[in-house]
Amino acid sequence: MKNKTFVSVCIPTLGRPEKLHRLLEAIKANAGYDNYEVIVKADEFPPNNMGTPKNLSRCVEEAKGELVMFLGNDTIPEKNFLQEAVWAMARKFPEMDGMVGLNDGYWKEGDVATHWMCSRALLPMLGGHFFHHGYNHCGCDNELQGRCELIGKYTWAEKAKLYHDHPVNVGWDNLDVIYEFAYSGKNHQADVELLKKRAEEFGFNPRV
């Protein structure tokens, strides 16, 4: 393992200032690792919304880390989450050149890594972006994991835990406006169709 690999924790965010504050406090309290930075980029609401993939790329452009961790503003990292993610990477990929899925307490190993840590070394194999810019919000994580699996560069970090304060955990009855935008209407359908198309093109498991 490279000594104290630098990690950029990237948070593309939209609304929910109280949840973003909660996340930032949880990162400081629970990282268990001291060689990292946090980069936050705020998106705008429709009609000027760029979407998570493009906003994540804005974060990555500014990031200095060899490793990039993606967290949504609706996550609450648990004790030693960052240390455990780095250790999982080092155990599976000693050159620190893979993808690590984080344990959000809902999706299990083999399912979708909604939050993750990736090496910049993978970017040339992914078209230059961790999340393909054709997606609005959904499906981009499915594709990233699937394509990393195809090249043998994916692993799961069972001990790198976070709580995902998301409808899959708390129920779909009272969606906020951001979830409504992501999971309802034509944007969501377009994401589903794009995921299926790209899965056929590249040969990965779309997990839909």
Where in the chain are the domains? 7-202
Which phi and psi angles does 41 have, rounded to 5°? -130, 125
Pick from 163, 145, 143: which is nearest to 154 by CA?
145
Distance CA 4, CA 86 (A): 9
CATH topology of domain 7-202: Spore Coat Polysaccharide Biosynthesis Protein SpsA; Chain A (3.90.550)
Sheet with 154-164, strands from edge to edge, namely 36-42, 7-13, 67-70, 116-119, 99-103, 154-164, 75-77
Find all residues with CB under 8 Å of 98, minimum gap 6, and list them. 89, 92, 118, 119, 122, 148, 153, 154, 155
pTM of the model: 0.94
**Per-residue pLDDT tens listing for the chain (208 residues):** 456 899 999 999 999 999 999 999 999 999 999 999 999 999 999 889 999 999 999 999 999 999 999 999 999 999 999 999 999 999 999 999 999 999 998 877 778 999 999 999 999 999 999 999 999 999 999 999 999 999 999 999 999 999 988 777 667 777 777 877 777 778 889 999 999 999 999 999 998 7
